[in-house]
A and B are shown apart, each in its own frame.
Chain A
Amino acid sequence: MMRASDDRLTIYERSRPGRRAFVAPLLDVPERALDELLPPELRRSEAPRLPEVAEPEIVRHYNRLSRRNFDLDTGFYPLGSCTMKYNPKLHERVAGLPGHARLHPLQDPSRAQGALELMWKLQQSLGEIAGLPHVSLQPSAGSHGELAGVLLTRAYHEDHGDRRTKVLTPDNAHGTNPATVTMAGYEVVKVGTDERGNVDLDDLRAKATEDVACLMLTNPSTVGLFEQGIEEIERIVHGVGATLYYDGANLNAIMGICRPGDMGFDIVHFNLHKSFTQPHGGGGPGAGPIAVAERIEPYLPRPQVIVREGTNGSGPRYDLDYDRPKSIGRLRGFQGNYGVFVRSYAYIRSLGAAGLREVSEVAVLNANYLLARLQREGVAEYLPAAYDRICKHEFVLSGTPMKRALGIKTLDLAKRLLDFGVHPPTVYFPLIVDEALLIEPTETETKETLDRFADIVAEILREAAEDPELARNAPYTTPVRRLDEAQAARHPVVRQAM
C-alpha cells in the first residue's frame, strides 16, 4: 500500500487559516448584541484553536489514519483476557435505528417502553446466564462493575452493622481488582496461587478472617484454568461472612455449561465488550453490568429497571425505579450505555441458549487445540505451557526458556509477530508467570487461522535460533518501528504545540 510522505501530519498541521467544513444554519431570529447576552468579562478573548480544514481533507485524514491501525475485522487477535471475537454487523444496523439512537435519556418512561423492555429482557438474560436473580445495567465498563461490586459489599456489611477493612484478591488478578479495592476504601490482601494454577486454599484459610469483606475471583482464573477448589473457596469465604465476587472477564469459557451463581458467587460483573460482542472501538465504549444474589439486591444502584403487570389486559409496563432507600446510589449519569445494550441484546437473541453454549464449547475447543499445536516440538521447549492441564478458553505460556536458550524475550516475540500480520497475545500478564504469554483465540476463528498462528510462532523461534537480533529489532514492516516509550514518559508531549 502506498504511503505518502505526509502521512504523519496531524489534523492541526493540515489546517490552513480560513478553511472550513461546517456551514451554520441561517440565523432566523433577530440578532442581539453579543455584549448584551454575554458580558465581556465572561467571554474568552480567543477562540479555541481547532483545526481549519475542509470536509474532503478531514475524511481523507481520518481514513488514512485508520489504515495505520490493525483491527479485528482484518486479522487474528489472540489477546488473552480480552475475548476478541467477531463483532456482528447487524448490531450496528439495529443500534442506529432512530428509535434507539435518538432517544433522550430523560424521555418519560411511558414513552420509552421499547428501550426499557429491551433493558429488562437483557437483564433477565444476563441473570439467567450468571445464575443470579437481580441485574443492574448501570456500570459503564468492567472495572466500573467491579467498583459497584465492592461498594455493594460495603453497603451490605454496613447495613448489618459490620465494619470490615480488607478485600482478598488472588495474586494473578487483573490490575483493576486491587485499584478498585483501594478506591472503595478497603485494604488489598493477596492470596497465593498453587502450582496447579488454583487458589492456594491454605493461604486463603489463613487470610480469610472476619475482617475480610470480600474475595474477588474469576473462574476460570486469569491463567485460563477452572478453579478446582471453588466449592471449598465458597465455604471458606461465606464461612467468615464475606461476599464472593466474580470477575466476569472469562465468562466466554462457561456460558450454558456452569454458572457463577451456582458456584456460590454473590456478585458477578459482565463485560459486554468481551463475551457479548460490543466492538472494542480502539479502547471503549463497553459496559459492565452486574448480577447479584437476593441478599445484595436492596443495595443495587439507583435507578433500577423494573416491570409492573399491566392493568385491564394491557401488556406489562416497564419503568425506572428510584425508590430504593438502601441503594448505594448512582454510579454515573442516566441509565447506562444503552447503545451497548442494544447490541448485546441483539447478540443474545441471535444465539439463544444453544448458540451461547456452542460459543463456550468452541472457545474452549479452539484454545485447547491451539495449545496442543503449540506444544509440539520446536515450540514447547522454548514456550512451555505454564500449567500442565486442560485449559478453558485461554492458556498461558512462559517465555523464560526461550529467553535463556535463544536470547529473545516475550516482548521480542510479540513485536516479531506484528511483521506476520497477527496481533500478539497478551504479554507479561498474569504477573505470576515469568515472561508470560496469555493466548485466547475465541470461538469465531477458523482452524486454519489457529494452524497458521502456531506455524508463525515456530518460524519466529527458528529465526531466533539463527539470529536473535531479528526479533530484538522487530517490527520492520509496520507503519512505525519500535517506539521510544521511555522518552514519552520522561518528557511527555500530550498535545500539539501551537
Chain B
Amino acid sequence: MPPHPNDGDDFGSPFFDVRLRRARLGLVVGLTGIVMIFISFSSAYVVRQGLPTLDPRTNVLLHDWFPVPLPRLMLINTAVLLISTITMELARRHAARKVALGELAAVPGVSVNAEEKVSWLALTVVLGLSFLAGQWLVWRDLAASGFYVSTSPSSSFVYLLTGMHGVHLFGGVVALLTAGVGSLLHRRADSQSIVLDVTGWYWHFMALLWVYILCLLEFVH
C-alpha cells in the first residue's frame, strides 16, 4: 500500500493493517466509555426498583415500582435490528474484500468483480432507520396506554433506556450514511473499509446492548 501524506484521517500510519488495528482499538476504548453510561443507568434502575421512600402521609415506607407492559412492537423492532446486524456484517465483509482484492486488480490481465449485487450498506441504513421509526411508534403506543416519561418510575426508565439507545444507534446510522456518501464520492477503498469495519462492530454492539436493555426491562423487576 503506497503511503500518502494525508493529514488527519490516516491515524498516524500509511499502512492499512496498522490503521485498522488502531481504529478497532479506539472503538473498543470508546465502547468502554459507552458501557459505563449504560451501567450507570442499569444501576439506577435496580436501585430505584428496590427503593422505598417514606410516604409523608402515612409515615410508611412505600414501594412504588410497577412494571410497564411492553408493547409487542418492541419484539418486531428487535427482529428488525437483528436482521440489520446481518446486513451490516455483509457490508463490512464486502468492504474488506474490496481492499484485499484491490491489490490484485492492479495486476495486468487480472479481472476482479468486486461489485456487490445488493447494497448491503443501504439495506442496513434502511433497517436501522426502520428500527428507530419503530421505537418512535412504541413510544406513541405507550403514551396511548397512559405511560408517559413522568408517569411512573418504571415508565421513566423505559423511555430513558430506549431513548439513549436510540440516540447511539442513530450515531451509527450517521456513520453509515457518511460511508455511503464516501463510496459515492469514490473515496479510497481502504478508508471506506476502516469506516465500515468500525461502524460494523459498533452496530453489533448496539444490537447486543438493545437485547440487554430489552431483557432488563422485561425480566428484571
State whether these chains interact.
no
Residues in chain B within 8 A of chain A (CB atoms): none
